[in-house]
Structure 1
């Protein structure tokens, strides 16, 4: 948070322009003395009758007209009273002029869809002699007031700006963090305009490394984060500071592929790392909530977790890639029945490699029974932490969730072997798991060089001899064999390759999450498409897009 925002009376020159909601044009309204539409006498209903039911088309048009006109006029008090939360709306609408220094604004409504009214804001921001235009789009929704029955704007900070969230404020001034020029591994400049998924990452790198890189501050309009330790979000740059150069491990070509990949499906995320070094080559998201799930998410990874379970089985002498296994359609563990997808079974003498390729759940639960209740409850957690670095603190250079395999017992332990239960991962974690499997040892992912701030990287033991080779064989078979669940998605990926599909059932979701992780040569990637269904159908094409851009 750069500084506290001031509260005051809005002034300046504002206007509402005719739009699709069906009301007339408004002339530019100068100051608070104008008597145009939006005055306080229009905030009450003409009848004492308390109306109920959904708002009508006419109510939507009239209420949005009055609100936008009052906001455009600069009357924050009247505008806030036309919302269902004046206490929160008033200060933020006031800050629009007093703190964000918006001196002119023209608001153009679009065509209403039901009770939603979109609009475009074309504003001018002025600060200490520096002036710059500022345009963006947002929307409001008209609802019926609970106690009054009046049609009111459903107040959300995003009404003022689409990126504003509760507890955040707008401000214009001299930035408190130095500017940076982030570049990829080859020196190509990375911007949030060209690579939208990097917006939050670039803000974090700026906050953390801008001054170290020798940058200076400029004059900007930004969103003050509610969390003082989190980076602010720059919305407009009036004058640039001197940028400090920050070298990243990202690869612009792979990042571009990741951006394309996540556009294939809503609610998708992907991350890519280099197995030989741990360098992060790409991180991308396509989510309606703007959340960076690729590096911060924490959800069950489904059958992609069988990579770690397979390593555990091999290391404990419970099986091998080409050793025989049983794959019944269902299996009971301490009173709870676990099933394979669509109840399939394998009765033709399957091996662990083939069961892995077809993602047989029961084959990754039954072999672990001989370990005994005490050991089998801790074996996966130990494997994940000691060899794959999961649950340790990763100092990547940006904020990340570093995976979690919590203690478990009973049926929950069995669920964890197939990536369910309380296990929590994200695409960056699973890309690292795959990189560890094929590279033979955990190399902590990182996005800026270690010597930039002398961070201490997390470490783990190398996989014992032969384990990595068997895991790689299993992954390769799953991506190339006719019966492999990843073969179709990986068909157009070249080089030395392998993959694993996964789907995770989430409480309250009708459709499972789609997971996919794979590698090609010296690049590993993993993707999550929430509520995407089977791993090969949604997450698979996202990963394939990224891997095709690799070495």
Structure 2
């Protein structure tokens, strides 16, 4: 359940915040809302439970404490997580050794509903996704026991088995790695690709065609080291190389330009960029900063912020719930359980929906939430944009999540790409390509990639409206950082709240000709100010007709 306070602020046209005060942050958090990026914790947290929580059942404070514990763990705030338990010293020692010993970076958690036990304790089940560096995801289920304290507060009742059901005083986990096989690859024109020439492809080439690093997590006896069972293995995918270089859809020129743009404009922050062809989904560039390690461009899990308004707008247009010329007021604030807000000086009385889109007005979009059913946004994302279906692009990827909102506050947040909605640059580049073409094409990195997706094309009228709105955002709205580029560029900015102690992530998606691009800059504050310069650098470098 997700509650947001002071929702994400609209983008200024110059990509900066209004006013001289330090940026206030929304989505104040005590609770984990869903998935967190494996490279850096990107998750919205809830301040308590939603205003529509059932009065019966377990004490909401117990669930809030459980989610806060998982939120701290996912964000590597281990002392804070340990302090929420009945044995802080032991808890911190175990959390440290578990994460470091298994090379886990950025664990991700999803909670289920709390269960009240007969003895007055509460149990909160959860699913863990543990990204093991360089290998893949280890998923399992566990549960947090919570016990009420003498002062009426709740704490996680510490036991080794809450970390993993089979972790005990006699058994622990051990990670074993096998030496990775080298993979030769070429771009779409036959040019050789390598991590030396294109450093950002290092995490991509390591898994290309299913020939990635191999390894396993074993449960072993703490004294003898004898393996009791194998919990998970990595690297068992089929080998597509057949003794010759893997031919990819990448374009060496686009890849090099993407890496240069990140190096020049991301200012050393974690960032990722994807460029793909609109007409067939073939990936031209997939770049990460830093260049080695986690492939955040395809496997990251981020709240997409206002770039998600492309999907929200599609859902509204599909059912004639709004038209671009309709008046949809854009007030400074709107309270739905908690207060959502725009930039302090950003409000547009009497604004049309077109203005709401181009100025990225959060309150206007949230005010339209009753025109969509609770599960309708997710259904549109899946049916028309392929988000949440299983993609087979040629390397491991995260393919998005749009859960049904658990209350009205979370539904409001979902309208603007927050709550538990999760995406990454690969997904948002694909969303942009689908919006401007009308047809979803599964993104692909290798020729002949399996495609099990099933989608429906957007109506031509909706596509025309989306294209016009994206173009107007460049000419008149928050994406004017791209103004002046040739080729009729269309775009959408996004600012995604993360947590109380992190700056917002900056997003920008764009299309020109047959190319769609998406970029995220972690803690970039605004989309126009951080991701915007990266995308502009890329499009200014590459000729309009060089889409492969």
TM-score range, shorter chain: 0.5 to 0.7
Q: Measure how far apart 1:271 and its partner are.
A: 0.8
Distance 1:400 1:528, change over 3 A: same
1:278–1:446 CA contact under 8 A, matched in 2: yes
Matched, 1:511 2:509: no
For structure 1, the residue ranges without an aligned partner over 5 or more in a row are: 1-83, 90-165, 210-221, 233-240
- Tell me what 1:46 maps to: none
Q: Measure how far apart 1:509 and its partner are.
A: 3.2
Structure 1 residues 14-70: Cα deviation after superposition (integer angstroms, max 9, x where no partner): xxxxxxxxxxxxxxxxxxxxxxxxxxxxxxxxxxxxxxxxxxxxxxxxxxxxxxxxx
For structure 2, the residue ranges without an aligned partner over 5 or more in a row are: 1-95, 102-173, 218-231
Q: Measure how far apart 1:544 and its partner are.
A: 2.1
1:270–1:427 CA contact under 8 A, matched in 2: yes
Rounded to whole Å, the distance in 1 between the matches of 2:243 and 2:363 is 55
Matched, 1:384 2:384: no
Structure 1 residues 309-332: Cα deviation after superposition (integer angstroms, max 9, x where no partner): 111111121212233221111112
- Tell me what 1:273 maps to: 276
1:286-365 equivalent positions in 2, closer than 5 A: 286-287=289-290, 290-333=293-336, 335-347=337-349, 349-365=350-366
Rounded to whole Å, the distance in 2 between the matches of 1:268 and 1:459 is 30
Q: Measure how far apart 1:420 and its partner are.
A: 0.7
- Tell me what 1:71 maps to: none
Distance 1:262 1:167, change over 3 A: farther
Larger radius of gyration: 1
Q: 2:533 aligns with which of 538, 541, 547?
A: 541
1:313–1:368 CA contact under 8 A, matched in 2: no
1:525–1:547 CA contact under 8 A, matched in 2: no
TM, length-normalised to structure 1: 0.60
Q: Secondary structure at the match of 1:528?
A: strand
Q: 2:424 aligns with which of 423, 426, 438?
A: 426
- Tell me what 1:167 maps to: 175
Rounded to whole Å, the distance in 1 between the matches of 2:291 and 2:435 is 33
Rounded to whole Å, the distance in 1 between the matches of 2:260 and 2:534 is 8
Q: 2:520 aligns with which of 516, 528, 534?
A: 528
Rounded to whole Å, the distance in 2 between the matches of 1:444 and 1:332 is 38
Q: 1:405 aligns with which of 402, 406, 425?
A: 402
Distance 1:288 1:208, change over 3 A: closer
- Tell me what 1:196 maps to: 199
2:200–2:292 CA contact under 8 A, matched in 1: no
Q: Secondary structure at the match of 2:529?
A: coil
Rounded to whole Å, the distance in 2 between the matches of 1:304 and 1:376 is 21
Rounded to whole Å, the distance in 2 between the matches of 1:207 and 1:378 is 35
1:452-463 equivalent positions in 2, closer than 5 A: 455-463=450-458
- Tell me what 1:491 maps to: 483
Rounded to whole Å, the distance in 2 between the matches of 1:476 and 1:539 is 17
Name which structure has the greater RCO, CA cutoff 8 Å, separation 6+.
Answer: 2
Matched, 1:230 2:235: yes
Q: Measure how far apart 1:343 and its partner are.
A: 4.9
Q: Secondary structure at the match of 2:317?
A: helix
Q: Measure how far apart 1:289 and its partner are.
A: 7.6
Rounded to whole Å, the distance in 2 between the matches of 1:456 and 1:169 is 30
TM, length-normalised to structure 2: 0.60
2:507–2:526 CA contact under 8 A, matched in 1: yes
Distance 1:315 1:339, change over 3 A: same
Q: 1:441 aligns with which of 439, 442, 457?
A: 439
Q: Measure how far apart 1:545 and its partner are.
A: 2.7
Structure 1 residues 369-409: Cα deviation after superposition (integer angstroms, max 9, x where no partner): 2x3xxx53112111111111110001111111001101113
Figure out how many residues of one structure are paired with residues of the other and give that number: 353
Q: Secondary structure at the match of 1:466?
A: helix
1:442–1:459 CA contact under 8 A, matched in 2: no
Q: Measure how far apart 1:459 and its partner are.
A: 2.6
Rounded to whole Å, the distance in 1 between the matches of 2:260 and 2:460 is 38
Q: Measure how far apart 1:497 and its partner are.
A: 1.1
Matched, 1:478 2:473: yes
Rounded to whole Å, the distance in 1 between the matches of 2:234 and 2:175 is 14
When the two chains are superposed, the root-mean-square deviation of aligned CA atoms in Å is 2.7
Distance 1:287 1:494, change over 3 A: same
